[in-house]
Amino acid sequence: MIILAIIFAIFVYGMIAATLGTILPNLSERFHLTPKQNGNIAFAQALGLILASLAVGPLLDAEGKKIGLVLGLTLISLALFALPHSRGYRNILLLLFGLGLGGGIVVTGANALASDVGGTHRASILNLVNLFFGLGGFVTPFIAANLFSKNWIRLCYAIAGFTVITLSIEIATRMPGAAGPHSFIAADMGQVQGRPVILLLDLFLFLYVSCEVGVWNWLPRHLIAQGVPESRALNILSVGFALGLLVGRFLASPVLMHISAVTILLIASVAMVITTFLMLRTRKSMAALVLVGLAGLSMAPVFPTVLAIVGNVSPRMTSTAIGFAITCGWIGLAVSSRMIGAIAGGNPLGLQKALMVLPASAVLMVALSLVIRAILPHG
């Protein structure tokens, strides 16, 4: 039941991770939003993710994972039920901030719980449960394009309804009790977070999330600007990218039983450089589908594998360490969102140039993975 609860929570987060990119074209048209305003909306969600994952780690260590999952799912459902009633740009900013808060709590709590139950096979278990993130990301744009006829209001209500079901599962599931208030000691934060390998892993997630969520939030708009029909662009996001993440994590889980986590990070980083660059250079739908799928496949093992390494090197205050690493990832999202929106300006065609931030970040990931590999050759 604990694994099931983790899977449902991560599936919900996968759905909301793809929500903004899926509904952004409709929101932009309805409220006449510019790419810069789109960037600010993505930044608001990222800010919520940052604050939530930073603050919730100590709470999870002290009070247990269940309280975090229940709180996060409640915030998500409230934001999604309210979003169809938004009246303009500022209202959307506020609700996406709330959605980010809920998402940050859920993703930190679910991954921390998976890290606890994973034991010596953290990397494999985290990749296995996080494949349902890819499944959630597949479902959102797929049903938007093929079942709801791009009706973003129905999509919000559908995801909110499933979130409420998941909330009921989390409430009904018995989870390990809290470690107690002494499990988090503020004076020890420097020892937990100040080690060079932890700082490098945090920076790695900063760069990685810039790439992954950059695809979720911006790829449909980029494809539409290149002349791809909106429904086809959403299908490329779901069938290509989300399915690539799902399949990649399914394949990575058994591979990580035999190959070290740091080696997987290096291979994935090199593949990301190539695939993210190529996917931005094509205007053909079929080529975009294949290249976006390969990009998802290459990105698939990175997030859960980094969290597994953080868990392995942080036996004390694990939730706090994982939460801080995830926070650094969301900061990457916030920075890249503002940067992409600013570079694109008011011209949707400028997104192609702006999105070169993604392969540039992947190049830096290759360099970081080599340094981490030198520090943790058997990690």
CA distance 146 to 64: 40
Report how far Cα 309 is from the mean position of its chain's Cα atoms: 18
Phi-psi region of 119 (alpha: psi -120 to 50; beta: other; left: phi over 0): left
Which tokens is 337 given?
Answer: 């969102």
Contact assessment for residue 230 and residue 150, using Cβ atoms and an 8 Å cutoff:
yes
In a domain, 183, yes or no: no
CA distance 330 to 346: 25
Q: What's the domain count of the chain?
A: 1
Question: Whose CA is closest to 5, among 169, 168, 159?
Answer: 169
In a domain, 75, yes or no: yes
Q: Is the pLDDT of residue 190 over 70?
A: no
125: Cβ–Cβ under 8 A, 6 or more apart, which residues? 114, 117, 118, 119, 253, 308
Its pTM stands at: 0.77
Tell me the residue range of the domain where 300 lies: 2-174+189-375
On average, the pLDDT of the chain sits at 86
Question: Whose CA is closest to 192, among 366, 61, 48?
Answer: 61
Q: How many CA atoms lie within 13 A of 153 on its CB side?
A: 4
In a domain, 184, yes or no: no
Q: Is the pLDDT of residue 187 over 90?
A: no
Q: What angle do CA 211, 231, 208 make, to 5 degrees?
A: 5
In a domain, 13, yes or no: yes
In a domain, 181, yes or no: no
CA distance 337 to 352: 14
If you search the block for the tokens 């909301």, which residue do you land on? 16
Q: Is the pLDDT of residue 178 over 80?
A: no
**What's the average model confidence in pLDDT over 353-360?**
91
| Confidence band of 94 (pLDDT split at 50, 70, 90) | very high
Contact assessment for residue 127 and residue 2, using Cβ atoms and an 8 Å cutoff:
no
| Confidence band of 348 (pLDDT split at 50, 70, 90) | low
Q: Is the pLDDT of residue 189 over 80?
A: no
**What's the average model confidence in pLDDT over 87-108?**
92
| Sign of the four-CA dihedral 78, 142, 356, 39 | negative
What pLDDT does residue 149 have? 73
**What's the average model confidence in pLDDT over 31-52?**
85
CA distance 311 to 119: 9
| Confidence band of 181 (pLDDT split at 50, 70, 90) | very low
In a domain, 236, yes or no: yes
Report how far Cα 298 is from the mean position of its chain's Cα atoms: 15
In a domain, 55, yes or no: yes
What pLDDT does residue 214 have? 85
**CATH code of the domain covering residue 216:** 1.20.1250.20
**What's the average model confidence in pLDDT over 23-52?**
85
What pLDDT does residue 40 have? 86
**What's the average model confidence in pLDDT over 34-39?**
80
Phi-psi region of 284 (alpha: psi -120 to 50; beta: other; left: phi over 0): beta
Q: Is the pLDDT of residue 179 over 70?
A: no
In a domain, 182, yes or no: no
Q: Over the Cα atoms of the chain, what is R_g? A: 19
Instruction: Give the burial class of 93: count Cβ atoms within 10 A of its Cβ; 0-12 exposed, 13-18 middle, 19 or more buried.
Output: middle
